[in-house]
Amino acid sequence: MKAAVWPFFHLINDSTLRKSAHKQDRLQSKMAPNITSSPTGVLFEGEKLEEKSAEVPKEKDKNSDNYEVKIVWKNVLIFTSLHLGAIYGLYLVFTSAKLLTTLFAVLLYKCSGIGITAGAHRLWAHRSYKAKWPLRLILIIFNTIAFQDAAIDWARDHRVHHKYSETNADPHNAKRGFFFSHVGWLLCRKHPEVKNKGKGIDLSDLQSDPIVAFQKKYYIVLMPLLCFILPACIPMYFWNESFVNAYFIPVVLRYVFTLNMTWLVNSAAHLFGNKPYDRTINPSENKGVSLFAFGEGWHNYHHVFPWDYKTSELGTYSYNFTTAFIDFFAWIGWAYDLKSVSQDMVKSRVLKTGDGTHEVWGWGDKDQTQEEKKHAVVTHTSTKDQ
């Protein structure tokens, strides 16, 4: 079964291996950063922002001209192979795999996705709700299946992303284009500003969570077991699936698919969509991304109110599977202190900085009251039917 995990070992060991002197290719890249890195967002309810300008900063970073992108060719090779493997997996789905194997891959996508959305994102990175230890245990297992690095490292990058959004300190700065924010940032060394500014991010809450600390300590063992070995063994053992199908569908295809759905939040949801809450920032409301990323595509709202456990205003379950998951666990008492934003606060923000596309306060919306309609001032009325 060692063969099932070999291509991925480099990723967990990367930080360690890198410390040994290995030759780096230094290439000037087109994905050059272009803006400063002063804080642009808050992380939790009540956190104070040092300074917040209404406009996205335009000034060029003094260092940006000297900054060279260092491509990590090993990552390029691995991610390319993984994507080719995923295409082969997709072919196998339609040609030789058992239906159960495909359904199992979908289940793993759902579980590992929740490990990212309800775990690493809404619980650990943003503290938008609290979870009792059994739920934290479930989430850390799901999170390890997802292999997006240890939750504490994920949360560190994500906190930097929110605090210095679209600047050099943002690990996946969307100002550097779709490709960079999608996957390019994992194919090269981080901008020094990410590390500089990241040092100021408080992670003490996560360091003191024994479940998060355990995952970090034993990641090198837990991750290959949960993400690669068990998902390949289960179909072979329980329904006699072939090794090739069991490896390329629930492992490679499922992993690559889940990664891409996650990356779309950084790329598509930072580039395409409406901005009903704040037109001055890049993150946008993207329904398609929300569907596949379990409610994480309502990104304009999320960057304005990152402490809302729904990561959206309304939290409709069909486009926010994660909210349904958290609500279920709140119902049985394992999730608690769910934070949300009052309608008044949302409304005042929409009116102040929104781009005018807010659905709820649009004319004729189902939630618009008769009172509001009655008192509205309508000028230049036409007698013709619209």
Q: Which is nearer to ligand ST9, 15 or 348 (CB)?
A: 15
* Least distance between ligand ST9 and beta carbon 112 (Å): 7
The answer to the question of residue 194 lying near ligand ST9 (CB under 6 A) is yes
Contacts of ligand ST9 in 290-349 (CB under 6 A): 293-294, 296
Q: Which is nearer to ligand ST9, 194 or 211 (CB)?
A: 194
Q: Which is nearer to ligand ST9, 168 or 266 (CB)?
A: 266
> 42: part of which helix (H) or strand (E)?
none
The answer to the question of residue 216 lying near ligand ST9 (CB under 6 A) is no
Structure tokens at 66: 């000297």
Straight-line distance from the first to the last Cα atom of the chain, in angstroms, rounded to the nearest whole number: 67
Contact pattern for ligand ST9 over residues 116 through 135, marking x by CB under 6 A: xx---x--------------
Give strand ranges (E) for the chain. 130-131, 335-336
* Least distance between ligand ST9 and beta carbon 289 (Å): 8
| HSE toward the beta carbon, residue 154, CA cutoff 13 A | 28
Q: Which is nearer to ligand ST9, 238 or 317 (CB)?
A: 317
Classify 149 in phi/psi space as left (phi over 0), alpha (psi -120 to 50) or beta: left
Return the closest-CA partner of residue 113 out of 259, 211, 245: 259
The answer to the question of residue 241 lying near ligand ST9 (CB under 6 A) is no
- The full 3-state SS of 110-122, as one line of letters, equals HHHHHHHHHHHHH
The answer to the question of residue 105 lying near ligand ST9 (CB under 6 A) is no
Contacts of ligand ST9 in 354-383 (CB under 6 A): none
Contacting range for ligand ST9; rule: CB under 6 A; set: 245-253, 257-265, 339-347, 371-379: 257-265
Q: Quick one: which of 41, 113, 224, 283 contacts ligand ST9 (CB under 6 A)?
A: 113
Q: Which is nearer to ligand ST9, 251 or 293 (CB)?
A: 293
Classify 190 in phi/psi space as left (phi over 0), alpha (psi -120 to 50) or beta: beta
Residue given tokens 């360690």 in the structure block:
16
Q: Quick one: which of 102, 258, 312, 320 contacts ligand ST9 (CB under 6 A)?
A: 258
Residues 6 or more apart whose CB falls under 8 angstroms from that of 41 comprise: 49, 52, 162, 163, 164, 165, 303, 306
Contact pattern for ligand ST9 over residues 149 through 178, marking x by CB under 6 A: x---x--xxx-x----------x-------
Return the closest-CA partner of residue 209 out of 154, 132, 146: 132
Contacting range for ligand ST9; rule: CB under 6 A; set: 142-150, 207-215, 312-320, 367-375: 142-150
Q: Which is nearer to ligand ST9, 129 or 241 (CB)?
A: 129
Q: Quick one: which of 33, 39, 41, 198 contacts ligand ST9 (CB under 6 A)?
A: 198
Amino acid identity of 115? G
Residue 64, φ and ψ in degrees, nearest 5? -60, -30
Q: How many residues bind ligand ST9 (CB under 6 A)?
A: 35
The answer to the question of residue 76 lying near ligand ST9 (CB under 6 A) is no
Give me the torsion for CA of 258, 259, 260, 264, rounded to 10°: 100
> 181: part of which helix (H) or strand (E)?
helix 178-182
For residues 220 and 178, the answer to whether their CB atoms sit within 8 Å is no
Q: Quick one: which of 186, 226, 251, 281 contacts ligand ST9 (CB under 6 A)?
A: 186
How open is the CA angle 218-153-54, to the nearest 5 degrees? 165
Q: Quick one: which of 4, 71, 155, 259 contacts ligand ST9 (CB under 6 A)?
A: 259
Contacting range for ligand ST9; rule: CB under 6 A; set: 147-155, 241-249, 323-331, 369-377: 147-155
* Least distance between ligand ST9 and beta carbon 21 (Å): 14
Q: Which is nearer to ligand ST9, 108 or 335 (CB)?
A: 108
- Count of H-run helices and E-run strands, the chain: 18, 2
Return the closest-CA partner of residue 40 out of 176, 183, 177, 197: 197
> Three-class SS of residue 100?
helix
Residue numbers at the binding site for ligand ST9 (CB under 6 A): 11, 14-15, 18, 72, 75, 113, 116-117, 121, 147-149, 153, 156-158, 160, 171, 186, 189-190, 194-195, 198-199, 258-259, 261-262, 265-266, 293-294, 296
